Amino acid sequence: MPRRLLALACASACLLTACGVLPHDGAARRTVTVWLMKDSASPEFLRRFTDDFERTHTDLALDIRIQQWTGIGAKVQAALKADGGDGPDVIEVGNTQVPQYIDKGGLLDLTLESMRDWGLDDWLPGLVEPGQRDGQQFGIPWYAANRVVIYRKDLFAQAGVTRPPRTRQEWLETTRKLNSGGTQGIYLAGQDWYTLAGFVWDEGGELAVEGDGGWRGTLDTPAALRGMDFYRRLHALGDGPADADEEHPPQAGVFASGKAAQIVAVPGLAQSIVQQNPDLKGKLGFFPVPGRSAGRPGAVFTGGSDLVVPQNTDDRKGAVAVVAALTGEHWDSELARTMNYVPNKARLAPAVAGEEGVAAMAAGAAHGRATPSTPEWAVVEADNPIKRYMTAVLTGADPATEAGRASRRITEQLKVSLG
């Protein structure tokens, strides 16, 4: 996922190994090497998982090696190309990174296990879709996180709003009530294109689609234009800059200043907000991004991680056993509870029902999506025409003209070979 969607405070992970332990039957254990990313799981969780896994798999020992996100792409590519059996047997990768690894080759096809044993049809779409190519499953969903609406309960009460909005129309009406007396109804930066993507998907549109001639941008379709129009109306109910994204300035600081009633962000950002303004402790609430109807939350961009197995593993059976355990119902739910993540299946959402922010996140994740499943999407994000399109529309340019220009640019970028 792009440069960490997650804003969750976690303890630093450590190496956990159990190499050389002898199983009960006296035979030597085979070591399965697992690369996990820093802060994806707490040391305490990994310790419990390792103890349980080695107790129930007496022929296997785990060697969990924690990796840094910086530079991980090149490191994973090198591992997938390496000869011999000294590399990782299981690797955690960001869900939107999986297409680039599939494209380069070197990942094990786990379609059979996914369909027969792991419940492929039940996985969150935003995690499972980036891990697919031509009907084959390479990336196995592990955990997810996505945006919700963080709001001021006290400001809602002062405005006479007794419950969070459940539809997009209600959301506009509620935000309009809140947008008065020096308070922004919502702080929404003009270039928050992940939030725009959800509105586009809600309308039935896409950022880009794949056809016979390859990938092409589709921001100029009627559905995508409706998504941008909703974004424009919502943005107008606050003072968010038209020419900057949610990190410029950081929206946690803007919200902590006390002059905004809502922001769209991952719920973990609430911790930073309260740290900057302790007076807001106990005043923050969360609800899913509203959809077009009350019975279905809005679509959201889903970030998170998948697990993959390199083709060059020298222990396919052991690697598959680790993936099965980490992504299975018990340990996936435990990870979600421990780290405030969304589990990999919608039906596991009750595992996080006790946390308001995570519960709101899980409701949205059931309708979550990922960015277009092509490695060249990284080119789009590096020089993002969607941001320029949004700014142009929010400053008065013709939406259809600007959407056409952005779509053509996306099409050009998706034809660039990454080598």
Summarize pLDDT for 121-173 with one digit per residue, the tens: 999 999 999 999 999 999 999 999 999 999 999 999 999 999 999 999 999 99
Instruction: Please determine, for residue 221, whether its predicted confidence score (pLDDT) is greater than 70.
Output: yes
DSSP-assigned letter for residue 118: S
Q: Which parts of 39-108 are beta strand (E)?
A: 60-67, 90-94
For the chain, percent of residues with pLDDT exceeding 70: 93
Q: Calculate ∠ Cα 398-402-404, nearest 5°.
A: 120
Q: What are the tokens at 100? A: 């680039």
Distance between the two ends of the chain, CA-based, in angstroms?
21
Instruction: Please determine, for residue 14, whether its predicted confidence score (pLDDT) is greater than 50.
Output: no
What's the pLDDT score for residue 3?
Answer: 37
Q: Indicate the residue type of 21.
A: V
Instruction: Please determine, for residue 15, whether its predicted confidence score (pLDDT) is greater than 70.
Output: no
More confident residue, 57 or 13: 57
**Percent helix, percent strand, percent coil in the chain, to nearest 5:** 45, 20, 40
Which tens digit of pLDDT belongs to each residue from 23-78?
A: 444 468 999 999 999 999 999 999 999 999 999 999 999 999 999 999 999 999 99
Q: Indicate the residue type of 233.
A: R
165 φ/ψ sector (left φ>0, alpha ψ -120 to 50, else beta): beta
What's the rounded Cα separation, in Å, for the pair 287 and 298?
11
Which tens digit of pLDDT belongs to each residue from 259-315?
A: 999 999 999 999 999 999 999 999 999 999 999 999 999 999 999 999 999 999 999
What's the rounded Cα separation, in Å, for the pair 373 and 100?
9
Q: Which residue from 381, 385, 350 is spatially nearest to 366, judged by alpha carbons?
A: 350
Q: What are the tokens at 150? A: 């963080």
Residue written as token pair 């077009």: 292
Which tens digit of pLDDT belongs to each residue from 350-400?
A: 999 999 999 999 999 999 999 999 999 999 999 999 999 999 999 999 999
Instruction: Please determine, for residue 21, whether its predicted confidence score (pLDDT) is greater than 60.
Output: no
The H-or-E segment that residue 178 falls in is: helix 168-178
Q: What are the tokens at 399? A: 């939406």
Instruction: Please determine, for residue 83, whether its predicted confidence score (pLDDT) is greater than 60.
Output: yes
Instruction: Please determine, for residue 208, whether its predicted confidence score (pLDDT) is greater than 50.
Output: yes
User: Residue 345, exposed/middle/buried by CB under 10 A (0-12, 13-18, 19+)?
Assistant: buried
Instruction: Please determine, for residue 12, whether its predicted confidence score (pLDDT) is greater than 90.
Output: no
Q: What values do phi and psi take at 349, rounded to 5?
A: -55, -30
What's the pLDDT score for residue 135?
Answer: 93
Q: How far is CA 166 from the centre of its chain?
A: 22
Q: Which residues of 126-139 are buried (b: 16+ CB within 10 A; e: fewer)?
A: bbbbbbbbeeebbb
> How would you classify the pairing of strands 136-137 and 214-217?
unpaired
Instruction: Please determine, for residue 1, whether its predicted confidence score (pLDDT) is greater than 50.
Output: no
What's the pLDDT score for residue 86?
Answer: 80
What's the rounded Cα separation, in Å, for the pair 173 and 82?
57
Quick one: how many helices (H) and strands (E) in the chain? Answer: 17, 14
Q: What are the tokens at 139? A: 């990336």
Average pLDDT over residues 326-351: 97
Which tens digit of pLDDT belongs to each residue from 244-258?
A: 999 999 999 999 999
Q: Are 134 and 149 in contact (CB under 8 A)?
A: no
Instruction: Please determine, for residue 102, whether its predicted confidence score (pLDDT) is greater than 50.
Output: yes
Average pLDDT over residues 170-187: 97
Q: Indicate the residue type of 402.
A: E
pLDDT mean across residues, the chain: 93
Q: What are the tokens at 198? A: 């959800």
Q: What are the tokens at 145? A: 């996180």
Average pLDDT over residues 175-200: 97
Q: Are 119 and 345 in contact (CB under 8 A)?
A: yes
Other beta carbons less than 10 A from residue 340's beta carbon:
22
What's the pLDDT score for residue 27?
Answer: 66
Average pLDDT over residues 216-233: 98
> How would you classify the pairing of strands 90-94 and 300-308?
antiparallel
Instruction: Please determine, for residue 18, whether its predicted confidence score (pLDDT) is greater than 50.
Output: no
Instruction: Please determine, for residue 119, whether its predicted confidence score (pLDDT) is greater than 50.
Output: yes
Q: Which parts of 203-355 are beta strand (E)?
A: 208-211, 214-217, 262-265, 284-287, 300-308
DSSP 8-58: ---PPP--EE-TTPPPTTSPPPEEEEEEEETTSS-HHHHHHHHHHHHHH-T
Average pLDDT over residues 319-332: 98
